[in-house]
Amino acid sequence: VTAPDCARVDDVLAESALGLLDGDERAEVLAHIATCPVCEQHLGALASAADALLVGGPEVEPPVGFEAAVIARLGEEPAREPSRPAAHRPRARVLLAAAAVLVVGLVVGLVAGSARWGGDRAEVATSLRTGDIVDDAGVTHGEVFAHPSDSWLLVLVGGEVAPGTYAVECAYGGSDHWYEAGTVEVDDDGEITVWATSVPVPLDDLTGVRLAGGSEALTATVTGG
């Protein structure tokens, strides 16, 4: 992926802010704003407007039984732990987007350069939290990236991982309580799978990421930041 110029990115910034771009397009935008503070600021401004608008969106009463169905699903969730105060780190969404860029730019570099898991991370090592994804035998299958103040989490898993759907789960503050952040599909094409999501909490004290649901247990201990 090459960083496109400002005009090209400006063409899709509004759609990016509205959550309408697919993963590749979004990565392209983020790769550009990593080096362009003007576009970065513009994206942050549009994204805050797009999110604020949602409060005035359509209202439709759900079917009878909706509330009970949700409550039943909550009952299937793991037992709760005492709540943990989040780190006090007020900041604009534009900073979150900028932080995500570091991650995306890194991944772009890793993939484009055909590097596996050992790419030179010196330039971002001071701001990222990272961890190797390993199996029970200690073999590395991928890597996790998160920025300390970023809501973006990015996971790479390698071609040797058994194909299937994996739940990506996060643990904070060294806790062994896991929050599901989403699911990643690993194809059987042997390619590196790149998966990113926006986690609605700070990742300052993200300490672990695991991929659950496949035939093997894959876990990353996240450090740094």
Partner 1 sequence: VAIASDEALVAGMAAGDTEAARDLIRRYQARVYGLAVAIVGDRQVAEDVAQEAFVRLWRHAGAFDPRRARVATWLLTITRNAAIDARRVRRDTPVDPEAFATIERATEPAPEALAVHASEVVRVRQALGELPTDQRRALVLAAFFGRTANEVAELEHIPLGTAKTRIRTGLRRARTALALDDAGADDGRGEP
Q: Are 92 and 42 in contact (CB under 8 A)?
A: no
Q: How many CB atoms lie within 10 A of CB 130?
A: 19
SS3 content of the chain, % helix, strand, coil (to 5): 30, 25, 45
Binding to partner 1, residues 176-205 (CB under 8 A): 179-180, 198-202
CB within 8 Å of 151: residues ≥ 6 apart: 96, 100, 198, 199, 200, 201, 202, 203
Beta strands in 23-163 (DSSP E): 129-134, 140-146, 152-157
Q: Which is nearer to partner 1, 4 or 119 (CB)?
A: 4
> Minimum distance between the CB of residue 96 and partner 1, rounded to whole angstroms?
9
Contact 209, 169 (CB under 8 A): yes
Judged by CB under 8 A, which stretch of 49-57, 108-116, 119-127, 134-142 contacts partner 1? Answer: 49-57
| Helices 37-53 and 93-112: angle between axes, nearest 10 degrees | 120
Residues in region 78-107 near partner 1 by CB under 8 A:
79-84, 86-91
Q: Rank residues 80 and 137 by Cβ distance to partner 1 and give the closer one.
A: 80
Phi, psi of 79, deg, nearest 5: -55, 145
- Considering beta carbons, is residue 70 or 217 the nearer one to partner 1? 70
Residue 115 CB, nearest approach to partner 1 (Å) = 29
Q: Could you say which of 1, 26, 34, 57 contacts partner 1 (CB under 8 A)?
A: 57
Judged by CB under 8 A, the stretch of 50-58, 102-110, 134-142, 188-196 that binds partner 1 is 50-58
**Contact flags string 111-150 toward partner 1, x per CB under 8 A:** ----------------------------------------
Of 163, 170, 206, the C-alpha closest to 188 is 163
Binding mask 8-47 for partner 1 (x = CB under 8 A): --xxxxxx-xxxx-x---------------x--xx--xx-
- Binding residues for partner 1, how many (CB under 8 A)? 61
Q: Which amino acid is at 212?
A: A
Cβ pair 3, 109 in contact under 8 A: no
Given 5, 8, 35, 53, the residue binding partner 1 (CB under 8 A): 53
> Which residues of the chain form contacts with partner 1 (CB under 8 A)?
10-15, 17-20, 22, 38, 41-42, 45-46, 48-63, 66-67, 69-71, 73-75, 77, 79-84, 86-91, 172, 179-180, 198-202
